[in-house]
Amino acid sequence: MSNAIPIVRGYSHPYATSASPVTSPVTHSPILSSSIILKSNIGAARPKVLRPFAVGELRLLLLENISEEAVQTFKSHGFQVDHFKKAWSEDELVEKISVYHAIGIRSKTKITERVLQHAPKLLTIGCFCIGTNQVDLVAAARAGIPVFNSPFSNSRSVAELVVAEIIALARQLVDRAGEMRQGNWNKVSKGCWEIRGKTLGIVGYGHIGTQLSVLAEAFGLRVLYYDVVNIMPLGSAQQVNTLQTLLSQSDFVTLHVPELPETVNMISTTELAQMKRGAYLLNNARGRVVDIPALIAALKSGHLSGCAIDVFPSEPGANSEGAFNDQLNSWSSALRSLPNVILTPHIGGSTEEAQRMIGQEVSTSLTRYLLFGSTPGAVNFPEVDLRAISDDQTSFIRQVNEILSDHNVEKQFSDSKGDLAYLLADISDVSEADIRDLHDRLHKTRANIVTRLLT
């Protein structure tokens, strides 16, 4: 490889070929991390493209009416696809899953450990939805089966619903519309507001919070946000340091945090009291983030002017009349009876567009895993992806592996970008002499640019 460029930037220590400070090698079973950067012969080597094999023998089972686009994507890759509208019961799965290499489900099909025990050919599971609670993720990982989902494809749908709810709350829209349905004419303007110039407080400035921030500013709202992480503001939004600051300044407070031990009941009596009198609360995040009995008290006292709630601590497993009752959540009827309270059945992310994007994302993940073994996005698996590498890099990786093979390599990872490759290896139980030898041999390989030893 004539124009490979070994670059050694070492100066302070014979084994440290790095500009970073490196401590002296220790002799008592040190862990040695070696990062190696190499360059292949530009132009001379063609990247190797991985080719799938025997695709037509792979059988996919798609349940719960997964989008036609996903079905077509799989078929276009040559997979055999069986697709059904309904969810299958555990017994049905146990009976029929043994012939399938991949399964695509939504939230109703449960993939239990028992199902997995009857799935000897199963390679991967795709959840064409946000959550993955319906799959025994630990049992799947133990069986070597990565599970994929699509956690963020409905962010825009949620953000748009929140905008609609802000206006609906400010105008008491749902109450007025309900009265008209009853045949009652009740034209009021008292307590009805434009949203222009009001302050929106966003708790959790992630995928949904940031999209909402942009939409809200377009409506003339001033946007504040509170997040445990420092996040760059979009537009003119401002991050505040405490939840209390956000609560005390906002006319509308909307929650977009995950459910974590520290976010359960993060809005309770104390926080509600910190909100401005006449403000509104919106929860489209997770049901347990708001203490609902405390919210009911704040609404009844008139401290809050309304709320919009899409998510609940307990939610019915299926659509059914009368399911949102006091058996489900003891306070359901109390909440339903209050004015200017918008209750929706967890529809924040439920749009045709979100379903289409979920179909695209999960079918792509499954296809990439089946064809190339790539696991980025898997919820229960290490994320590994292989980029095309050149023939020169292949031969270098072989040389490096030969050098390292005499040692106890605890972890190793390599990747390449264009004609540049980077390899990290974590080696234990090496003496100072071993380190000297490793460094010298790695450094002498032809494609090596930099070898850096971290002890």
Which residue numbers are catalytic? Answer: 286, 315, 346
- Strands 32-39 and 420-428 come out as antiparallel
Tokens of 317: 């497993």
List strand residue ranges (DSSP E) for 310-384, in order.
Answer: 341-343
Could you tell me the sign of the dihedral formed by the alpha carbons of 359, 360, 364, 367, in that order? positive
**CA-CA-CA-CA dihedral for 265, 267, 271, 272, to nearest 10:** -120
- In the complex, the smallest distance separating the C-beta of residue 325 from ligand NAD, rounded to whole angstroms, is 21
Tokens of 47: 């990247």
Tokens of 257: 């945090």
Name the residue nearer to ligand NAD (CB basis): 254 or 448: 254
- In the complex, the smallest distance separating the C-beta of residue 347 from ligand NAD, rounded to whole angstroms, is 6
Q: Which residues bind ligand NAD (CB under 6 A)?
A: 130, 152, 154-155, 158, 203-209, 226-229, 256-260, 262-263, 284-286, 310-311, 346, 348-349
The count of other CB atoms within 10 Å of the CB of residue 351 is: 16
- In the complex, the smallest distance separating the C-beta of residue 279 from ligand NAD, rounded to whole angstroms, is 18
Tokens of 129: 């939805």
* Distance of alpha carbon 284 from alpha carbon 160, whole angstroms: 11
Tokens of 423: 């390899």
Number of H helices, E strands in the chain: 14, 16
Name the residue nearer to ligand NAD (CB basis): 211 or 399: 211
* Distance of alpha carbon 344 from alpha carbon 284, whole angstroms: 9
- In the complex, the smallest distance separating the C-beta of residue 153 from ligand NAD, rounded to whole angstroms, is 9
Name the residue nearer to ligand NAD (CB basis): 73 or 155: 155
Residue with the closest Cβ to ligand NAD?
206
CB 272 within 8 A of CB 303: yes
- In the complex, the smallest distance separating the C-beta of residue 34 from ligand NAD, rounded to whole angstroms, is 34
Name the residue nearer to ligand NAD (CB basis): 80 or 344: 344
CB 85 within 8 A of CB 65: yes
Tokens of 408: 């106890």
Cβ neighbours for 228, distance < 8 A, ≥ 6 positions apart: none
Q: In DSSP terms, which residues pair with 59 in a beta bridge?
A: 80
- In the complex, the smallest distance separating the C-beta of residue 412 from ligand NAD, rounded to whole angstroms, is 31
Name the residue nearer to ligand NAD (CB basis): 195 or 308: 308
Name the residue nearer to ligand NAD (CB basis): 33 or 269: 269
SS3 state of residue 240: coil
* Distance of alpha carbon 133 from alpha carbon 135, whole angstroms: 5
Which of the 8 DSSP states describes residue 26? Answer: P
Name the residue nearer to ligand NAD (CB basis): 137 or 450: 137
CB 160 within 8 A of CB 389: no
Of 214, 64, 210, 84, nearest to 127 by C-alpha is 64
- In the complex, the smallest distance separating the C-beta of residue 214 from ligand NAD, rounded to whole angstroms, is 13
Per the listing, tokens 């696809």 go with: 81
- In the complex, the smallest distance separating the C-beta of residue 185 from ligand NAD, rounded to whole angstroms, is 33
Name the residue nearer to ligand NAD (CB basis): 224 or 425: 224
- Strands 124-127 and 199-203 come out as unpaired
